[in-house]
Amino acid sequence: MFLTPYPTRKTRKSRHNGFVKPLQVLERSALPIQQTLRTAKLFTEIEQNLKTFLHQGISPHCHILKLDNEQLDLAVPNAALASKLRQFVPSIVNHLSQHGYAITKVHIKVRASLQKTPTPQYPTTAKKSSLAQCHKAYQTLLEQYPDGPLAATLRKILEKNTD
């Protein structure tokens, strides 16, 4: 290691003052993806406006399908939500036009694929312990009354639940 009065490493100064976001570059470019990004941004803005306008029970299930020739197509997972949303169509059109969107018609479509399937719930440790307590209670009952009227049923229950 040498001791010199001059710095041994030169630090490079950045040419850019700030970080350039990739989406901003793509929006400004002349690439075909530019139109897709604009459409996605417009859909996101409209969905945000709808979420603030609609009831909290409806808004998470409402999705934009298409925006074409001043017609907005919305999708919901079931017919009940669709009929409820159809009642709000005139006020939706007024709300969106007040926020600067040129929309004159709103069509509501039912898409069953938007329905969320319930996730299977596995027994927690508390449930497992209570199941074990029930199993022990059935076992003691069977031991106390081996020839009683419920003995056959208790044996079946214990056979099925011996996991």
| Tens of pLDDT, residues 119-142 | 666 666 666 677 778 888 888 888
Domain assignment present for 40: yes
What's the pLDDT score for residue 55? 79
Same domain, 109 and 136: no
Domain assignment present for 54: yes
| Mean pLDDT, residues 39-57 taken together | 87
| Mean pLDDT, residues 98-124 taken together | 81
Same domain, 55 and 87: yes
What's the farthest any 2 CA atoms get from each other in the chain?
Answer: 101
Domain assignment present for 107: yes
Domain assignment present for 10: no
Same domain, 140 and 64: no
Domain assignment present for 119: no
Q: In the beta sheet, which residues pair with residue 67?
A: 72
What percentage of residues in the chain have a pLDDT greater than 70?
77
| Mean pLDDT, residues 60-72 taken together | 89
Segments forming the whole domain that contains residue 130: 125-160
| Mean pLDDT, residues 28-49 taken together | 83
The β-bridge relationship of strands 105-110 and 63-68 is unpaired
Query: What H or E segment, with its residue span, contains residue 55?
Result: none
Same domain, 139 and 108: no
Same domain, 29 and 56: yes
Domain assignment present for 16: no
- Tally of domains within the chain: 2
Buried-exposed string 82-94: b where 16+ CB fall within 10 A, e elsewhere: beebeebeeebbe
Domain assignment present for 3: no
User: With contact defined as beta carbons under 8 Å apart, do 131 and 161 qualify?
Assistant: yes
Indicate if the pLDDT at residue 16 is higher than 60: no
